[in-house]
């Protein structure tokens, strides 16, 4: 249960509300290519407007070098908000100073104002108190609804709460409730599918999933590091040499867990390999002969060289059909699935229609998660790249919960406290 006060717990009528949203959306030639995060903020905005507030929205976008880095202006977001809300959205050319002060002063209940990019000011990321005080001077109440940023202690997530009564928005409440309930009280069996590039980015969630899940499957480039640690020749595949020992420790932890209870830790058995990432380059499937359930009893074990090995100029770009089928089969036995990270390279979708040539393993997992093979578990999807992929495939509505936060969802899944949530007012206890 969410323990912080929300917009439902505070008087809003006639108040000016500073709403922290996460509008860090992708842009191409000044146009928004994915408005999922903007749409997810609408319920909170509507709630505030319906309860008589004037809404001042602040956000960041990208990593601008300064206020003259206009490619990161939030003006396109203001135009998109105007379309989605079907009402006028004012835009201030700065988030503090005269432009912001004037626009906020003139704002009436029922009106919406979007401030320019917070990160045009280095004081935002530095959690500078004076900068937060300037932001706070624009409003009477602060509402935190940017789940994607609450794992950072920035001026608009931390320092701001020292200057205004601070509560959560509806999106933040939904995100925290959904993720914590799955991580603390899942309907079992629980499966976790973890992909992505670097083990270092996922080590905490991997360790927690080993502790609590019934099945953990590894995919993506991080699987290459596990394979290399196991002695599989991965050719020219991307992997992290610095994480080889980490991979060994994770597998040993999984082995210890498997001795205590029914638990499966799966690394890929086969993979799709190429010698060049290009739509015209032929792919082939390689079975490197390891057990799908890692051979943890005799770990690490050298795998004999064989004709089917990955060649020195080849790289693994996706899990193979056997590995994908094994994971899909395990999903059929699960009632709850946590998915974070693609199984292969999905960023090349523009090479070959809506599905990239190295995304078939990921697609097989998606089919299993959506119930195409008969059973549809409750699915929690997190991680920026994973969410971006299913957004591109127009499948967001098909999953039970798709998180708007990349790093924040990982931190919460790993069991860490989120500074931007901890700083909010606690719910009043009923005696």
pTM for the full model?
Answer: 0.88
Q: Which residues carry out catalysis?
A: 37, 198, 384, 407
Cis preceding-peptide flag for 189 (omega within 30 of 0):
yes
| 7-173 against 186-413: fold identical | yes
pLDDT digits (tens, 9 = 90+) for 214-263: 999 999 999 999 999 988 899 999 999 999 999 999 999 999 999 999 99
pLDDT at 353: 53
| Domain chopping of the chain, boundaries | 7-173, 186-413
Which fold would CATH assign to domain 186-413? Rossmann fold (3.40.50)
pLDDT above 50 (res 303) = no
Helix 199-212 to helix 244-260 angle (10° resolution) is 10
Spatial neighbors of 395 by CB under 8 A, at least 6 apart, are 366, 370
Instruction: List the CATH code of the domain at 7-173.
Output: 3.40.50.1260
Q: Report whether 94 contacts 100 (CB < 8 A).
A: yes
pLDDT digits (tens, 9 = 90+) for 405-417: 888 998 998 889 9
pLDDT digits (tens, 9 = 90+) for 62-79: 999 888 899 999 999 999
CB atoms within 10 A of CB 397: 7
34, exposed or middle or buried, with CB in 10 Å at 0-12, 13-18, 19+? middle
| Among 115, 111, 118, residue whose Cα is nearest residue 45 | 111
- DSSP three-state, residue 229: helix
pLDDT digits (tens, 9 = 90+) for 318-332: 999 999 999 999 999
């Amino acid at each position: 249960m969410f323990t912080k006060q929300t917009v439902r717990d505070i008087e809003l009528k006639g108040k000016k509300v500073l709403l922290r949203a996460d509008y860090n959306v992708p842009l191409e030639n000044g146009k928004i290519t994915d408005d999922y995060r903007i749409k997810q903020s609408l319920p909170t905005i509507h709630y505030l407007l319906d309860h008589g507030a004037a809404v001042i929205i602040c956000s960041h976008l990208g990593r601008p070098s300064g206020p003259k880095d206009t490619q990161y202006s939030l003006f396109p977001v203001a135009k998109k908000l105007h379309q989605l809300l079907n009402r006028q959205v004012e835009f201030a050319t700065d988030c503090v100073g005269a432009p912001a002060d004037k626009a906020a002063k003139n704002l009436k209940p029922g009106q919406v104002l979007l401030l320019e990019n917070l990160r045009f000011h280095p004081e935002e990321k530095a959690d500078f108190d004076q900068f937060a005080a300037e932001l706070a001077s624009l409003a009477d109440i602060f509402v935190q609804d940017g789940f994607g940023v609450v794992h950072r202690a920035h001026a608009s997530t931390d320092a701001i709460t020292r200057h205004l009564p601070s509560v959560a928005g509806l999106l933040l409440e939904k995100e925290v409730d959904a993720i914590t309930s799955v991580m603390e009280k899942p309907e079992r069996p629980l499966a976790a599918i973890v992909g992505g590039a670097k083990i270092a980015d996922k080590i905490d969630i991997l360790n927690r999933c080993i502790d609590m899940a019934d099945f953990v499957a590894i995919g993506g480039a991080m699987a290459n590091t596990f394979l290399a640690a196991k002695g599989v020749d991965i050719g020219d595949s991307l992997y992290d040499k610095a994480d080889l020992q980490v991979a060994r420790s994770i597998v040993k932890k999984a082995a210890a867990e498997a001795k205590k209870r029914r638990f499966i830790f799966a690394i890929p058995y086969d993979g799709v390999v190429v010698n060049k990432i290009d739509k015209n380059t032929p792919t082939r499937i390689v079975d490197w002969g390891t057990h799908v359930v890692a051979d943890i009893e005799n770990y690490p074990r050298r795998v004999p060289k064989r004709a089917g090995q990955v060649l020195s100029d080849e790289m693994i770009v996706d899990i193979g059909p056997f590995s994908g089928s094994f994971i899909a089969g395990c999903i059929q036995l699960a009632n709850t699935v946590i998915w974070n990270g693609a199984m292969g390279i999905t960023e090349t979708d523009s090479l070959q229609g809506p599905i990239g040539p190295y995304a078939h393993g990921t697609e097989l997992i998606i089919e299993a998660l959506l119930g195409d093979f008969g059973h549809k578990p409750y699915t929690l999807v997190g991680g920026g790249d994973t969410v971006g992929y299913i957004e591109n495939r127009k499948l967001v509505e098909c999953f039970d919960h798709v998180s708007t936060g990349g790093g924040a969802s990982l931190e919460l899944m790993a069991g860490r406290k989120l500074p931007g949530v901890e700083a909010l007012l606690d719910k009043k206890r009923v005696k």
